[in-house]
Amino acid sequence: MELEELARELRSFEGVTRKRPVRTVLKELLSDCGVPLEGEVIADAGEDAAAVDVGDRIMLVAADGIWGKLIERDPWWAGYCAVLVNVNDVLAMGGRPVGLVNVLSTSDQEECREILRGMREAARKFSTPVLGGHTHPDTPYTALDAAIVGVTDEEHLVLSSTAEPGDLVVFVIDLDGEPYPKFPLNWDTTTGKSGDEIREQMESVYRASRHVKAGKDVSNPGLVGTLAMMLEASGNLGAEIRLPDVPKPEDVDLETWLKMYPGMGFVYAVDGEREARRIEREVSEAGLTASVIGEVTGDGVVRITDGEREARVFDLSKEWIVGVR
């Protein structure tokens, strides 16, 4: 695929465009309602989780609604992903998950059982118990939402809003996986691993977070779209991504890979090669790959390059992903 065509595909990718209505929510819902919080709010909108200083620890709170397409195609996978995506939000913030609650709406008992089976398996794999929630047993549709609580501290806390021009872009990914059969844009790296293996990966990401300046877990917008969300939160910065440096499986084409939601994948802004090497050492012990794939710039343009040519994917001085800034 030509570079300009690839840039257009990434810019118009549904995983990116369906984020844009978030701007309306930010404007209408998250205004100051005058209700005081116990503790200090460190970060909120634009982050993978809200971070609140509650004394000796920092509490992380996040929530995710599962895409209806996942539920339609594979209810078990939807339940599994309800845990996975929330755990990754906490890991992206440099935290350790504590537990989840969920809201399950369905009148289809078989679908309900499959969703709960998936959640139970993921809760076991990720050592993150489902603590409770709410059920609507009589809805004419099926929907699944979950929220998570995690903890971290000042040393490990990672925000999306703290990248700066000149930072290196580091991609951390588990290449040991395969496309999930019923949803091939999901790069499944966890269902075939033991709980011990996954916990080792989670712990390595937690340790590596000490060396991260800004970060996010790679989610529905894919690698480039997720990076753009981080840059937007950091004040509409830009970046150049060197495609030949992006680690990927041999049997997945580049366009598909850049759109994939990985089971364990993070994009970081890092202060120099030394910190990048420290991250690589931490995560490689758990079977993860860490590679410098580009650099943060100050012009608001997110570019991809093949080493000879370059193409613009986003211009955050003129457009938005979620409208957080």
Neighbours of 111 (CB within 10 A): 19
In this predicted structure, the answer to whether residue 35 has a pLDDT above a threshold of 90 is no
What Å distances lie between residue 22 and 19, 45, 154, 220, 322, CA to CA?
Answer: 6, 10, 28, 14, 5
Average pLDDT of the segment spanning 7-29:
75
Residue 17 has pLDDT above 80, yes or no: no
The pTM assigned to this predicted structure is: 0.93
Q: pLDDT tens, 277-304?
A: 999 999 999 999 999 999 999 999 999 9
Q: Which two tokens stand for residue 197?
A: 């293996």
pLDDT digits (tens, 9 = 90+) for 50-98: 999 988 899 999 999 998 889 999 999 999 999 999 999 999 999 999 9
- Give the pLDDT confidence score for residue 151 in this predicted structure: 98
Instruction: List the CATH code of the domain at 3-18+158-315.
Output: 3.90.650.10
Domain residue spans in the chain?
A: 3-18+158-315, 39-152
Report, as an integer, the average pLDDT of 180-186: 94
Secondary structure element (H or E) that encloses residue 131, with its range: strand 130-136
pLDDT at 19 over 80: no
The CATH code for residues 39-152 is 3.30.1330.10
pLDDT at 40: 87
Q: Which residue has the higher pLDDT, 32 or 67?
A: 67
Sheet holding 168-173, edge to edge: 214-217, 265-270, 168-173, 289-297, 238-242, 301-305, 310-315
